[in-house]
Amino acid sequence: MITLQDIKNNEEVAELILSSQKQLNALGYTEHSIRHISIVSKRAGEVLETLGYSKDRVELAKIAGYLHDIGNCVNRVDHAHSGAILAYQILKDMGMNVKDRTEIMMAIGNHDEQTGTAVSDISAALILADKSDVHRDRVVNTNMSTFDKHDRVNYAVTNADLTINAEQRKATLNLTIDTKICPVLNYFEIFMERTMMSKYAAKYLKIWFELIINDTKLL
């Protein structure tokens, strides 16, 4: 079986990740490189592992998380779809069986809130992992006076933890937002679609999605 470590050692993958971030830097987007994909990969695996899925499904979720944003090297628009196709071909070249690489392609192709939805356990785990990574470390712009609304909201988040409770069948996203930087309402103005996508992804896994901001339960 192709493992996450095999993916990390692949030179083609490494170059696509670098090129993706180079393009997003030029466009002024938040960080989508090693930091982000490593967190998403780890969280996606933890979601399925905690819920009792097999080691093989956990590993596929980790790989999907690591590869999910490589489509940004083509264009930010439809990056989920182009990334899914790129990932499928890379995994095919690496010798992954057709069933597994198709599962990863489906997950990556459905991780963006504009066009996707949870269609499998792996895609649901990827969505929960991806949408939970809101944090000031993702802000590339160092000049606060030029922050756009996405920069400001991300920079205001000083802590973001996604926890899965198998016994209570619950996924909890716990955020700490510095309201001196932006009000909590701004989070929902930007991330409402992502929040609802996460809620549906949790439902696919037969668990409940809970959002807590500054110790207040909002969902």
pLDDT at residue 68 is higher than 90: yes
CATH number at residue 111: 1.10.3210.10
Pairing state between β 208-213 and 216-217? antiparallel
Does the pTM surpass 0.85? The reply is: yes
Which residues span the domain enclosing 109? 4-217
Give residue-wise pLDDT tens across range 152-197: 999 999 999 999 999 999 999 999 999 999 999 999 999 999 999 9
Based on DSSP, count helices (H) and strands (E) in the chain, helices before strands.
9, 4
Give residue-wise pLDDT tens across range 76-122: 999 999 999 999 999 999 999 999 999 999 999 999 999 999 999 99
Across the chain, what does the average pLDDT equal?
97
Any idea which of 46-50, 148-152, 173-177 has the lowest mean pLDDT? 148-152
